[in-house]
Amino acid sequence: MRSIFRSLSWLPLFAGLAGFVAGVSLAISPVGAQVGFRQLTIVHPVAVQRGTTVELEIRSNYTLDDTRAVFSDPPGLRFTFLEEKPKPAPRRGRASKGTPFRFRCQIPQDQPTGEHELRVATGQAVSSVTQLHVTDFPVIPEKKEPNDRREQAQKVQLPATVSGICERSEDRDFYAFDLKAGERLTAEVFAQRVTHKIHGMVVRGPRIYLMDPLLSLYDAQGRLVAMSDNRFGADPIIQFEAPADGTYYLELRDARYAGDPRYAYCIELATRPFRLATWPLAVQAGKSVTAAALDLRGEPAEEVSLVGDPLPQTQRLHRAGEPRRGRVRVQVGGTSSNEIPYLISPFPQMVEPDGRHGSREEAVGLTLPRGVSGRLAQKDEIDFYRFEAKKGRSYAFEIYSRRIGFPVDSVIELYDDKGKLVTETDDHPVEKTKDSRLYWTAPADGTFFVAVRDLHDRGGSDFLYYLDAREANPDFEVRGEYYYAMLAPGTRMIWFVDIQRYHGFAGPVTIEIEGLPEGVSQTPLTVPPAMKRAAVILTADKNAPIGSALVTLRGKGTIGEGEDSREIVRDGYVTCEQQGSGGGQARWPIRTQIVGVVQPMDLVEVVAEPTQVVLKPGEKAELKVRIKRREGFKAGVTLAMSFDYFSTKFGEQLPPGVTVAPGSTARLTGDRLEGKIILQAAKNAEPVDRLPIAVMARVAITFSITTNYCSNPIYLTVSK
């Protein structure tokens, strides 16, 4: 039977990871095998046109039978599952491209262009992330091979978005099209940008991972007339003005001559105006400014109006001052350009002034808070900014460049008025980008200097950056392991949060999840001031209906006192779990987070007693644990209180000074259904009052993957 699904509204999302999964690819399966999440690989074609309805394939290493919903972010895409018969999809090892499942996709005419995250929910499981590109142009799938030479090139009519796969080593894909003299072609590749969030992309490790595309353009005589590599990250772009009428040939290959059935890509081919950015890069919320639209070289072309939509009264952001994204187009000779991104900031804005300011003596003065649109126009350029600091005050400086499509690999340096380097920072600590972030507390009143440079001393007209500079108030961030969760009715799963407190914030943080599916609840949790890490316990009611939803995990805290107090809300950062070489794990930022109520899984019950534990310093307490297995499931179950992968702790929940004591049961095998966990409080254990914890029951799916079931909440008190 065919089912029709709608994408749910986008929720501002997060960072962290699969709270119930460690590793790489979970399975589902025949009776007797372990049950786990759906590992999606590529979508083909990987591009869809706005305002059309198309059929596409979503590949998965485990079956997508009984698909109940497909979620997109940004929202708006509507999917129909087209498979009418059950279709097995066994996992065939780490290099598997997955089994294709057919879907119909409806794309609204006003759907935002660019990369979309997709998640699939079946009756048995929810999925990892795959990616889909929305384009303005008709999508032309790559014809069947061979098309490795100019003579075999696939002829396309412009404008078009060709969608193909660089599917084997030394694969080369050729496309041919006609240009008239004076026409200006833009050919932009989306390869890493449409596969970098996919769970399993190891081709030949450790060096061969994502596709590294190289784009070349030839004229009718086979002469190379343009080439590009590594412009938007690894993705290239060519702009070329045809000197004469004729047929031109575009070649795409991997720069290393690597190939894989998961190396999906698309190339937007058009003669419309292409604009890289606006100048300035940002506008203050509630205001509008006239900006220049910049061409691919970073040079001004046309004027465009940037509108700073008012920020909501209650901002739900990862961090204070975080800008939002806007998009605008320009009209050139009656032809619309691509969508041009810009930032909307809560702060007053300025543009880096012309002329040198590459030293402390030439530094540009900043009045904080301030957003600065800057450019490292020359090699070895350093931009200095001067500000006045007060002793004991905290300050925050953050660069946006790689995250908004520019090549700066930024470094932020901080100097005192004597020229001494006080501190410096390189890559972003959470978002895994080359954009820098610096938090600093002034040791004394005085004049200080912020310097911005490229790590490799590169520069150019397109080496643009946005500097967010502000005095920092007490604040916090929410990180952790909460990528997705699957719960059968009557069962529980466990996530983990990691609270990072900044700029003197020392208060409790309450964790809430918005948008949980019907029948799923969260055990109330407030992380006390003395703790960073804690458990988030999800429970599915025994009558909960099968269903899934995108959710938002966020933290709430209060700063100030009395009438001056105010609540701050911070969405959690979300990271997906990615397969590394040799069974290793990596984390990568994504936007979506999903919870599903599914059919019964391997464990149908985990019970721990007593439900309340009071420990005095130096004391021990024993938790009796009992599990109930699905019929036919005999595999080992590991009991634990922390989420570990070898020596790495991805999640902890016990307060400082409380540990699992020797004598605890580590593993239940065969028909064994009962075990114990012994908690021990050190003499200096941190006092807590009724902290909710739970015993994890971990089921291994592969060498590196486990599903983390958990017990009922246990309320732990550690007395002073």
What CATH number should be reported for the domain holding residue 95? Answer: 2.60.40.10
Same domain, residue pair 457 and 504: no
Q: How far is CA 383 from CA 20, 360, 369, 394, 428, in A?
A: 45, 9, 18, 22, 19
* Average predicted confidence (pLDDT) for the chain: 91
Same domain, residue pair 117 and 102: yes
Same domain, residue pair 492 and 566: yes
In a domain, 55, yes or no: yes
Same domain, residue pair 45 and 91: yes
In a domain, 502, yes or no: yes
In a domain, 540, yes or no: yes
Same domain, residue pair 402 and 535: no
In a domain, 404, yes or no: yes
In a domain, 16, yes or no: no
In a domain, 17, yes or no: no
Which pLDDT score, from 0 to 100, does residue 254 have? Answer: 96
CA 205 from centre of chain: 22
In a domain, 15, yes or no: no
Q: For 353-371, what is each residue's pLDDT tens digit? A: 988 899 999 999 999 999 9
Question: Tokens 């899984």, residue?
Answer: 601
Are β-strands 130-135 and 78-81 bridged in parallel, bridged antiparallel, or unpaired?
unpaired
Q: How many domains does the chain have?
A: 5
Same domain, residue pair 512 and 644: yes
Same domain, residue pair 574 and 676: yes
Same domain, residue pair 593 and 557: yes
State the Cα–Cα distance between residues 440 and 448, nearest whole angstrom: 11
Q: What is the CATH number of the domain that holds 202?
A: 2.60.120.380
In a domain, 84, yes or no: yes
Are β-strands 603-609 and 620-629 bridged in parallel, bridged antiparallel, or unpaired?
antiparallel
Q: How far is CA 481 from CA 517, 533, 553, 693, in A?
A: 19, 11, 11, 15
Same domain, residue pair 235 and 310: no
Same domain, residue pair 596 and 712: yes
State the Cα–Cα distance between residues 253 and 257, nearest whole angstrom: 7
**Domain edge (last residue) among 345, 375, 400:** 345
Q: In the chain, which stretches have pLDDT less than 50?
A: 1-32, 314
**Domain edge (last residue) among 80, 103, 135:** 135
Same domain, residue pair 520 and 659: yes
Same domain, residue pair 521 and 645: yes
Which pLDDT score, from 0 to 100, does residue 205 have? Answer: 65
Query: What is the residue range of 572's domain?
Result: 477-718
**Domain edge (last residue) among 218, 248, 270:** 270
The candidate with the shortest Cα–Cα distance to 140, out of 261, 298, 268, is: 268
